[in-house]
Amino acid sequence: MALAAEISSALEEAHHAGVIHRDLKPSNVLVTPKGHAKVVDLGLAKVLHQTGDAAETLSETDSAAGTLPYMSPEQLRGEAVDARTDIFALGGLLYEMITGQRAFRGALASQRIDAILHQSPLPPRALNAHASAELERIILKCLEKDPANRYQSAKEFPWTFGGLPRQVPSRHSDHLQLKRRSGGDSHAQPATLPREFSR
């Protein structure tokens, strides 16, 4: 789970700086030639409002942006968002890495929205028996509908990934395209999943 730990660490640094990404998805994660993950494309990122020393939430008018399959319920409802919105997207990304399927599916956008707002995702272990019960618990906690029930920041993750195995066989997803950098930082090409996420 080395890449997952690096993605969560990148979010932790951003959140510590008072920035939320708001559009975390596979195409916004680059894999360097040395196999390290870098979170990119902060085009939708916003600085959280500051109250004293604490970063608060974005206003409702700033919240409704993102990519549908990875948007949180509060984004879809146009409510105020904070670091927990990125935690939801990270859960969707991890779900996809482990199962090869998106957590919330539907042929139409309206069906995907309804799934995010009202339906529970199929447990990851139902799709990949190699995933541990603890990893499943972590992913599903990230995907809680109520932000209060998620990890409150990337810093709370039980990894950076501590006791979990670094390698979990995964099912490849045609629509999961982490990008692999080649020939320097200026070029990024879609890449198949690294060995630790692929059969």
pLDDT tens digits along 111-170: 999 999 999 999 999 999 999 999 999 999 999 999 999 999 888 877 654 445 445 555
Q: Is 23 a catalytic residue?
A: yes
Domain spanning 2-197 has what CATH number? 1.10.510.10
Q: At residue 109, does pLDDT exceed 60?
A: yes
pLDDT value of position 15: 86
Bridge partner list, 30: 38, 179
Ranges 5-9, 26-30, 90-94, 191-195: which has the least confidence: 191-195
Higher local confidence (pLDDT), 36 or 117:
117
Q: Which of 23, 62, 82, 86 is catalytic?
A: 23
How many whole angstroms separate alpha carbon 107 and alpha carbon 105?
7
This prediction's pTM: 0.76
Q: What is the mean pLDDT of residues 51-64?
A: 39
Element (H, E) at 91: helix 83-99
* Token code pair at residue 199: 């059969």
What residue type is 193 in one-letter code?
Answer: L
Q: Distance between CA atoms of 165 and 144, rounded to whole angstroms?
A: 23
Q: What was the pLDDT predicted at 18?
A: 84
Instruction: Dig out the tokens for 181 from the structure.
Output: 């950098």
Q: How far apart are CA 121 and CA 69, in angstroms?
A: 12
Q: Give the per-residue pLDDT at 42.
A: 60
End-to-end CA distance of the chain: 14
Let me know if 185 is exposed, middle or buried by CB neighbors in 10 A (0-12, 13-18, 19+): exposed
For tokens 């990008």, what's the residue? 179
